[in-house]
Chain A
Amino acid sequence: SRASSAVLARDNYPLYIRSSPTENELKFHYMVHTSLDVVDEKISAMGKALVDQRELYLGLLYPTEDHKIKYGYVTNSKVKFVMVVDSSNTALRDNEIRSMFRKLHSSYTDVMCNPFYNPGDRIQSRRAFDSMVTSMMVQVC
């Protein structure tokens, strides 16, 4: 099955997008883009109270298609992580998704710790980040 992850910057441009398998990336880009609206809506709905770890369960965005389930996650610096999985897998995996987002987040902070990484750059083949994400998505498949 398929899984995809995306990291979006504060200004909603993509820092990292990875699908596994790698086809359909364009579609995934589109999905991420459309999901941003929902994400922003949820963030603003939170108001001033910034929560540490918000999980954004968007549910079925494409009910007619492969039942892709998208999950969102926003950090305190408004960096967004979006994950798309096939709902053909186990549907009840809230904790797993949470842990995956946590992993994503921690890998992202590791990337940020690299002084050669300018925030806002694309996360380009970060050895640790990319491999972590890929392996994570593979597990989901």
Chain B
Amino acid sequence: MEAAAGGGCGSGPPLLLSEGEQQCYSELFARCAGAAGGGPVSGPPEAGRAVPGAVTAAAGTVADLFRASQLPAETLHQITELCGAKRVGYFGPTQFYIALKLIAAAQSGLPVRIESIKCELPLPRFMMSKTDAEIRFGNPAELHGPKAQIPYSVTEKNTFKRMDDEDKQETQSPTMSPLASPPSSPPHYQRVPLSHGYSKLRSSTEQMHPAPYEARQPLVQPEGPSSGAPGAKPPRHQASLIRSFSVEREPHDNSSNYPEEPWRITEEQREYYINQFRSLQPDPSSFISGSVAKNFFTKSKLSIPELSYIWELSDADCDGALTLPEFCAAFHLIVARKNGYPLPEGLPPTLQPEYLQAAFPKPKRECTLFDSYSESMPANQQPRDLNRMEKLSIKDMADFPVPAQDVTSDDKQEQNKARLALKSTVDEALPKDMSEDPATSKDSNSLKARPRSRSYSSTSIEEAMKRGEDPPTPPPRPQKTHSRASSLDLNKVFQPSVPATKSGLLPPPPALPPRPCPSQSEQASEAEIHPQLNRAPSQAADSSPTKKDTPYSQPPSKPIRRKFRPENSATENQEPSSTVGGPASAATGKPHTAVQKQSSKQKKAIQTAIRKNKEANAVLARLNSELQQQLKEVHQERIALENQLEQLRPVTVL
């Protein structure tokens, strides 16, 4: 059956579509077009308004679909151009169909040409990754279904249904709940059906299984959570496109074909982003201004147009400032871009502020960070990360029994279930309120500790991310305050009033007792050692800051040198003194060991003193050079003024 390309402005070659193709394409198109309202790329409503007389597909949805075909980006670009969408600026039915044909052609290995689509082609294959799945229904986490197996077909349909949902929040209603059935994690399930669904699409005719699907619909409906109008679902379910994707599936461990999910933020990433946010803006509930963010992101060394594009994507409300979720999204996009991922056409739903907000409410403190992770993070994130990081453990997870739970629309339930799957020890059968969740938070802490410990050795994206993290922001350097220098306060040095610093540092020197020569009695030398030790740091402090402290520079250096002598002399003195015996011996016994300790302490003190001196020297050298510079400038100004004066003088004389 030939179906000429529908729609008004079609100007491509006449399409020959088989019946199956026609059906498939029209369903795909309906899906994409249906998402036009709620698609990620939806500008102002008027902009999204369809061309009168024709239906257009939202570019973002279409782009995602094309990406799911797993063709390289250039091919997709070519296809987009060829089908005419670029030319007319939108995806009408004509363009869409042509594009689908081209995708099928490309997947069959034919060159991307208009001629290719004239021959018989299999249906295009779309490996729907989890991304798309979750795009379709936002937060897939509500897979907490108590009951048993409901075929994944349901999930899929629901998935694609979601696209029609204007309200993403609504999509969070876990009509997908059925998937909670035991083995692996919920997202695991989702992945299975989706890839299955499409692969089925390709492999055979559209084996629509409307019957099993619709049979389960009633099953799904009652389980649907309160949110989302279950009643509204049946009419949506009617869309034929669901049928095309309903296929029978079996769970199989497809952790191997789990595609890398670039647009989802893991906990570590999220933490890092939040910390960076805090470094720019201490209040996590406030926002970062545009210029601050610009400076920050410029450090990532991406090109300005790319950064500008990323900003466009992430600043959802276009207010010139980034809230925390927007910031995380932007950062994530930058990281992804640095790792080579092409920038998406539209903000992926997993990066949208509402999603991020729901997923990760802004934490006030680190503890609440964990709590929020545990409580609000959708379970699919957790198990998903775990999947990514502990691929081997998926089978383990399958062994964990998942207790039945009442279905609520809570994300926390999801997480509870997921956590249970991993830690069967915790009794979380009861729904817990967010506030009263100490056990789960602890679990999540330990839970996160596990993935986090492994994540550092795992996926390349995280490693690359860590690499990519470095350019944007070097870790905050420790303050230049010298923690060691108790007596030396370099801040004083920087103060403009140098005399003040001098005076501040002078007192110690006068307090020094006179320096006895080592040849004095032992007691004197011992006594000297102690005060010398005490003095050494302060003397080093004295000597370092001021060059003008010349009268004191000598004494500071002397005790440093002398310290060694007193040590030796002390030991020498002490030894003969110990032979003398008497009270001296007892006295020397202690000082002997004390002296040794003191000598090592002295060495350390000397070293620290040296370091401090060097630092202070460097500081002063810089200060000096700056002052010299200023002096030069002032000189020049003075010369200029004098010249002016001279020039003016003869005039006045006249």
Contacts and interface: CB of A to CB of B under 8 A. Distances in A.
B79 interface: no
A127 B44 contact: no
Contacts of B59: 131
B318 A113 contact: yes
Contacts of B309: 127
Q: What 6 A-B pairs come out closest when comparing CB atoms?
A: A115-B290, A113-B320, A116-B308, A115-B294, A110-B318, A134-B89
By CB atoms of chain A within 10 A, which of B293, B304, B312 has the most?
Answer: B312
Given A131-B47, A132-B47, A116 B41 contact: no
B43 interface: yes
Nearest to A137: B89
Nearest to B322: A115
A20 interface: yes
A136 B318 CA distance: 20
A77 interface: no
A37 B624 CA distance: 59
A113 B315 contact: yes
A115 B320 contact: yes
Contacts of B29: none
Given A114-B308, A139-B46, 5 more contacts: A99-B46, A103-B46, A113-B320, A132-B43, A135-B48
Given A113-B320, A116-B307, A139-B51, A132 B44 contact: yes
A128 B516 CA distance: 82
Interface string B79-98: 00000000111100000000
B127 interface: no
Interface of B: 41, 43-44, 46-49, 51-52, 59, 87-90, 290-291, 293-294, 304-305, 307-309, 311-313, 315, 318-320, 345
Contact of B312 (A20, A128, A138): A128
12 contacts: A103-B46, A107-B43, A109-B318, A113-B320, A114-B308, A127-B41, A127-B345, A128-B43, A131-B41, A131-B43, A134-B89, A138-B90
B47 to A, nearest CB: 5
A134 B43 CA distance: 12
A106 interface: yes
A78 interface: no
Nearest to B49: A139
B293 A115 contact: yes
A118 to B, nearest CB: 9
A2 B271 CA distance: 51
Contacts, number: 73
**Interface range for A:** 20 to 34
A110 to B, nearest CB: 4
A114 B290 contact: yes
B561 to A, nearest CB: 59
Contacts of B43: 107, 128, 131-132, 135
A32 B510 CA distance: 83
A13 interface: no
A133 B442 CA distance: 52
Nearest to A126: B312
Contacts of B305: 116, 124
A127 B311 CA distance: 11
A1 to B, nearest CB: 12
A116 B295 CA distance: 9
Contacts of A107: 43
A109 to B, nearest CB: 8
A25 B281 CA distance: 46
Contacts of B318: 109-110, 113, 128
Interface string A14-34: 000000111000000000000
Contacts of B304: 116
A22 B89 CA distance: 11
Interface string A94-110: 00000100010011011
A62 interface: no
Nearest to A135: B47
Contact of A138 (B51, B307, B319): B51
A121 to B, nearest CB: 9
A115 to B, nearest CB: 3
A57 interface: no
Contacts of A113: 290, 315, 318-320
Contacts of B44: 103, 106, 132
By CB atoms of chain A within 10 A, which of B87, B291, B313, B320 has the most?
Answer: B320
B89 A127 contact: no
A117 B308 contact: yes
Contact of A114 (B41, B90, B320, B345): B320
Nearest to A131: B43
Given A116-B294, A116-B304, A127 B88 contact: no
Contacts of A139: 46, 49, 51-52
Contacts of A21: 87
Contacts of B307: 116
Contacts of B308: 114, 116-117, 126
By CB atoms of chain A within 10 A, which of B47, B49, B305 has the most?
Answer: B47
Contacts of B48: 135
B14 to A, nearest CB: 21
Contacts of A135: 43, 47-49, 89-90
A44 B309 CA distance: 37
A113 B49 CA distance: 25
Nearest to B293: A115
B294 A136 contact: no
A104 to B, nearest CB: 11
A20 B290 contact: no
Nearest to B311: A114
Contacts of A126: 308, 312
